[in-house]
Amino acid sequence: MIGIVNEWSLLITIDSIEIEHIEFNSLTLTEKTDNQLPSFALAIRTNRQDLSTYIFKGSIVKILLYKDNRDDYDILSEFIITKTSVTPLEQYNFDIVCYGIFNNLSYILTPKIYSKKDTLVNCIKDNIKTNTDFNLSKSIDELTSDDTQSWIQHNIPCREFIERSLKRSYSDNKFFNVAITLDNEFILSDLLHNINNPVVTTVIRPEESSSEFKIQEVDNITNNTGFLEISLGLGSVINDYNLTEDKLTNVSSGVDLISNNSFDGGDFGKIIHNEFNSFETHDNYSKAFIYNLTNRLKFSSYSIKLFVNDFSNRLKLNDGVTVMVPTETSTSEYYSGKYVVDERTINLTNNNISTTYKCNKNIL
């Protein structure tokens, strides 16, 4: 067991081997929207050679975080290691850093066959119940959509099916987004509704320590949404053939689609938009793609980070947040506005625990 601060305790095991307090350096837990699995980064220093041999790709990491009472935990998650770095030091010590994702690889890797004629919202609900072990968020029961058709999962993983389907979903004045939390919860939300119905309205006065949230930093505003490239059908990486060297290479198109939105062409150059194996599509199927792409770009161009110097689960992914900075503050016009939670990061060290919410603003 690792004692953190203010009676917070952390238990980490790697393939049943427990990490000791003296070995622990830091742990970062991250959950994001856009249908991504949660991830972790762990740094330790140890002289146990057996431990260094256990930390490799495919090892299972279990993390338990609680305060006061172990049975009343705040986080209980299981990850699989995808990348490791072991650096030998003097006196037989090792610096070990490992990274990984939520241990639910079947969601992103295992092909499934599924079909249903219904609205996409009902289809996703049924698909998650049938093909995954996620817990459905209760808020999904309040959602409806106007896109009844035959939705077909033709031997592809559930994540890919949901991703493709969301690009073709359509309902007036709605924009759906998926999030998966550290609690194994699958969230489907209408961001256009959430941003106008905030869970939290917070007034931030930078000079006062009593504010619930602190503005940690503002991200650089850059023109890297990739709108032009993706509208032309180009991915983030395109093929380049050099006639002189008779060599085919991959070159960047100058945009980073992956980090800004989920409409990614990957390493395949031209984006081939999904066509469902059915002659029966909903009335707005053709215009749905650009409608959803436009909304995605609205929610990915400007963000701020709200900081809490403690563990916080006050906000969930996709929740609406209204940030108000007093008008006498010079940064008021830049920070104030309506946001949705795009990412939650929990940072733990030997003597501190903090939470950062990355929130995106709908700027258009």
Of the listed ranges 27-31, 53-57, 91-95, 209-213, the one predicted with least confidence:
209-213
Residue 341: is its pLDDT beyond 70?
A: yes
Residue 272: is its pLDDT beyond 60?
A: no
Residue 246: is its pLDDT beyond 60?
A: no
Cα(48)–Cα(39) distance, integer angstroms: 25
Of 288 and 241, the structure prediction assigns the larger pLDDT to 288
Cβ neighbours for 292, distance < 8 A, ≥ 6 positions apart:
166, 167, 168, 169, 170, 175
Tell if the pTM clears 0.95, that is, is over it: no
Please write the tens of the pLDDT for every residue from 169-185.
999 899 999 999 999 99
Confidence tier at 340 by pLDDT (50, 70, 90)? very high
Cα(304)–Cα(359) distance, integer angstroms: 5
Of the listed ranges 188-197, 224-233, 307-316, the one predicted with least confidence:
224-233
pLDDT of residue 179: 96
pLDDT of residue 211: 66
Q: What length is written for the chain?
A: 364
Average pLDDT of the residues in 32-53: 88
Cα(309)–Cα(342) distance, integer angstroms: 19
Please write the tens of the pLDDT for every residue from 95-119.
899 999 999 999 999 999 999 999 9
Of 171 and 329, the structure prediction assigns the larger pLDDT to 171
Query: CA of 265: how far to CAs of 234, 249, 269, in Å?
Result: 7, 16, 6
pLDDT of residue 87: 86
Pairing assessment for the beta strands 24-32 and 39-46 based on DSSP bridges: antiparallel
- How would you class 214 by CB atoms within 10 Å of its CB: exposed for 0-12, middle for 13-18, buried for 19 or more? middle
